Chains A and B, each alone.
Chain A
Amino acid sequence: EVQLLESGGGLVQPGGSLRLSCAASGFTFSSYAMSWVRQAPGKEPEWVSAISDSGGSTYYADSVKGRFTISRDKSKNTLYLQMNSLRAEDTAVYYCAKASQGGRPYYFDYWGQGTLVTVSS
């Protein structure tokens, strides 16, 4: 059974940093691309970042480019999102999502339960 378990969310002040983690199990982690998708309250999901199966390619939404860094550790079957220079508009539930295959194009066939990030003073 595929399981994705996010952690690391919380309350942070504007300009602060946070690192999200997503522990994956139930599939061959190194064979699939992975993404972070966020959802602000009452809004549609918004894709944030993606990383290829090998970790050699990373992609970012314009809204987070230069501030967020995605990475993965295949020895730990874990996906990360380092978030710096956080803004109020980054407030959302952040989901870890498994891609349907190793490279594009892919849809998201499994999602974690999400972790809430609140940026506020």
Chain B
Amino acid sequence: EIVLTQSPGTLSLSPGERATLSCRASQSVSSSYLAWYQQKPGQAPRLLIYGASSRATGIPDRFSGSESGTDFTLTISRLEPEDFAVYYCQHYGSSRTFGQGTKVEIK
């Protein structure tokens, strides 16, 4: 089973700053079957990115995803107040595992 390790656990930033979130897979992820979700307190996860770098419908272009081998990155170019939340990566190929999450909090 593929294990996804997200880092850092918590990211403390100010609105307007750039956020870089990492998700490392324990083995090769076939065909970039990697998604990113955003979750706010009391809400369900919301799809942001699929296929490692494709934005879901309605997601602002300040959100972008990239990959390099088994390392995946979610970048938020300029944090808006509504972006402070927990972010999860998920592999949806041979397994359906989620990473443990990165919390982006207001500094």
Contact = CB atoms under 8 A, between A and B. Distances in A.
Interface residues of A, number: 19
| Residue with the highest number of chain A CB atoms closer than 10 Å, among B43, B45, B88, B101 | B45
A97 to B, nearest CB: 8
B56 A46 contact: no
A8 interface: no
A108 B98 contact: no
Interface residues of B, number: 22
A100 B50 contact: yes
A44 B88 contact: yes
B90 A107 contact: yes
B54 to A, nearest CB: 10
Given A44-B98, A44-B99, A106 B47 contact: no
A107 B98 contact: no
9 contacts: A45-B45, A46-B98, A47-B97, A107-B47, A107-B50, A108-B37, A108-B90, A111-B44, A113-B43
Interface of A: 35, 44-47, 50, 95, 100, 104-114
